[in-house]
Amino acid sequence: MRAARLIHLVLLLQSRGSMTGTELARELEVSERTVARDAAALSEAGVPVYAERGRAGGYRLVDGYRTRLTGLGRTEAEALFLSGVPQALREMGLADVASAARLKVTAALLPDLRDAPSSAARRFHLDAPGWFNEPRTPELLPALARAVWDDRCVSASYRSGGREVVRDLEPYGLVLKAGVWYLVARRAVQWRVYRVDRFTAVTAYGEPFVRDPDFDLPEFWAQRAEEFNRSLLRERVVVRLTAEGARLLPYVTDRAAAREALAEAGDPDGRGRVTVALPVESEEVAFSQLLGLGPEAEVLEPAGLRERFARAADRMRENYR
């Protein structure tokens, strides 16, 4: 433990030049007295750490000194690629690993490049969760993350359809979608997607499983997401659109379904309107979506939905009479 702290202290000084005892104590989560003892121990071991007194003083390394203790471990190297999503790292319990990796990379940079990480962080930030939702970290996310990193099989209890089931899974990857965490896992020979917040117990066991070298997590997720979106579009409505309505349709309903429907539409009529058969989730959803197009859309089928729009138009006419 102390050896790791001493290395951390040297890397901090190498990457930042000079730091006060208070700053080092805060970074290392120890007292200033411990920092002083650690600096003395390093000096006795031949590492040229020295303290400068006064208002602008602090600890620093002799100019030109560079340690070779900057090699990344495998876990640190993998976590480094997630540094752009700090919330995800914290939720998976990998924030400390990523911090150590960033420090090592910073220490290995040339002096005039050491401000690059902080410069980038001031200019770019990824906020993954959607608006108007208070994200909650699933309790078992860190345990699943460790199993994913280590390629360990898990025995997991999962809430499904009002009951709890137990499954043996090979956890291949975690996906954060609009603030919700999902686990992609293989069960027997089938690939499955599970919401992490529905797990009630997770236990890793056995030797690491052998990953399928052909499995591509981003590609799998994109395909599964498209299949899921299409599975929701169980009904169809027929709509006549003005040119402006056709332009706005992808913004009020499923974008892929709208574009596909417009591509399959026939030629415009004499008034420049096109008729499309649009896949929708339900008549209720279609009503709320297409209502936003106002006079740029006319629902033709089904008859019940057309009548509902006619009643809504009458009520709006009364409001503005």
pTM, full prediction: 0.52
Confidence at residue 121, expressed as pLDDT on a 0 to 100 scale: 47
Q: Which of 198, 94, 216 is nearest to 150 (CA)?
A: 94
Confidence at residue 4, expressed as pLDDT on a 0 to 100 scale: 67
Residue numbers of the chain with a pLDDT score lower than 50: 69, 72, 76-82, 84, 89, 108-110, 113, 120-121
* Distance, CA of 184 to CA of 173 (rounded, Å): 5
Asked if residue 302 has a cis previous peptide bond (ω within 30° of 0), the answer is yes
Confidence at residue 101, expressed as pLDDT on a 0 to 100 scale: 52
Confidence at residue 105, expressed as pLDDT on a 0 to 100 scale: 52
What six digits make up the tokens of 132? 């108007």
Task: Name, in order, each residue with C-beta under 8 angstroms of 122's C-beta and a sequence gap of 6 or more.
Answer: none
What one-character DSSP code corresponds to residue 302?
S
Confidence at residue 78, expressed as pLDDT on a 0 to 100 scale: 45
Task: Name, in order, each residue with C-beta under 8 angstroms of 27's C-beta and a sequence gap of 6 or more.
Answer: 8, 12, 19
Contacts 24+ apart (CB under 8 A), 306-313: 308/283, 312/287
Confidence at residue 81, expressed as pLDDT on a 0 to 100 scale: 43
Helix (H, G, I), strand (E, B) or coil at 1: coil
Q: Which of 101, 178, 97 is nearest to 142 (CA)?
A: 97
Q: How far apart are the first and last CA of the chain?
A: 78
Neighbouring C-beta atoms of residue 149, cutoff 10 Å = 17
Q: Which of 285, 296, 158, 290 is nearest to 229 (CA)?
A: 285
Q: Spell 239-276 as b/e; 16+ CB within 10 A means b.
A: bbbbeebbebbeebbbeebbebbbeebeeeeeeebbbb
Gyration radius from the chain CA atoms:
29
Confidence at residue 120, expressed as pLDDT on a 0 to 100 scale: 46
Pairing of strands 18-19, 190-195: unpaired
Helix (H, G, I), strand (E, B) or coil at 183: strand
